[in-house]
Amino acid sequence: MNIAILSRDAKLYSTKRLKEAGESRGHKVEIIDHMKCMLLIEKQNPMVWYNGRKLDYFDAIIPRIGASVTFYGAAVVRQFEMMKVFTAIESQALIRSRDKLRSMQILSRAGLGLPKTIFMDYSRDTEGVIEAVGGAPVVIKLLEGTQGLGVVLAENKKAAQSVIEAFHGVKARIIVQEFIKEAKGADIRAFVVNGEVVGAMRRQARDGEFRSNLHRGGHAHVVKLNRQEKHAATIAAKKMGLGVAGVDMLPSHRGPLIIEVNSSPGLEGIEGATKVDIAGKIIQYLEKNAGKKKIQKDKVNA
Condensed to tens digits (0 to 9), the pLDDT of residues 149-187 reads: 678 889 999 999 999 999 988 888 889 999 999 888 889
d(CA 32, CA 50): 8
Dihedral sign for Cα atoms in the order 212, 214, 217, 221: positive
Q: Tell me whether residue 159 is exposed, middle or buried, using C-beta atoms within 10 angstroms of its C-beta: 0 to 12, 13 to 18, 19 or more.
A: middle
Tell whether 121 and 206 lie within a shared domain.
no
Tell whether 61 and 155 lie within a shared domain.
no
CATH number at residue 197: 3.30.470.20
| In contact, 236 and 112? CB cutoff 8 Å | yes
d(CA 42, CA 21): 35
Tell whether 109 and 221 lie within a shared domain.
yes
CATH number at residue 175: 3.30.1490.20
pLDDT of 258 over the 80 cut: yes
Tell whether 121 and 242 lie within a shared domain.
no
Domain count, the chain: 3
Tell whether 190 and 70 lie within a shared domain.
no
Residue 20 CA, chain-centre distance (Å), reads: 22
Q: Is residue 275 part of a domain?
A: no
- Domain of 108? 97-113+182-263
Give residue 219's pLDDT. 73
Cβ-proximal residues to 58 (8 Å cutoff; 6+ apart), any chain = 2, 3, 4, 30, 80, 85
Give residue 184's pLDDT. 84
pLDDT in tens, 66-102: 999 999 999 999 999 999 999 999 999 999 999 988 9
Tell whether 166 and 186 lie within a shared domain.
no
d(CA 237, CA 193): 9
pLDDT in tens, 234-255: 999 999 999 999 999 999 999 9
Give the mean pLDDT of 52-75. 96
Strand partners of residue 187: 203
Strand duo 186-193 + 117-119: pairing: unpaired
d(CA 63, CA 8): 10
Least confident of 24-28, 55-59, 204-208, 210-214: 210-214
pLDDT of 124 over the 70 cut: yes
DSSP-derived secondary structure for 228-280: HHHHHHHHHHHHHT-SEEEEEEE--TTS-EEEEEESS--SHHHHHHH---HHH
Tell whether 103 and 249 lie within a shared domain.
yes
Instruction: Give the closest residue to 268 by CA, choosing from 203, 197, 186.
Output: 203
Give the mean pLDDT of 192-197. 97
Angle at 120 between CA 170 and CA 183, to 5 degrees: 95
Strand partners of residue 84: none
Strand partners of residue 301: none
Tell whether 25 and 57 lie within a shared domain.
yes
pLDDT in tens, 269-293: 999 999 999 999 999 999 999 966 5
d(CA 212, CA 195): 25
Tell whether 26 and 170 lie within a shared domain.
no
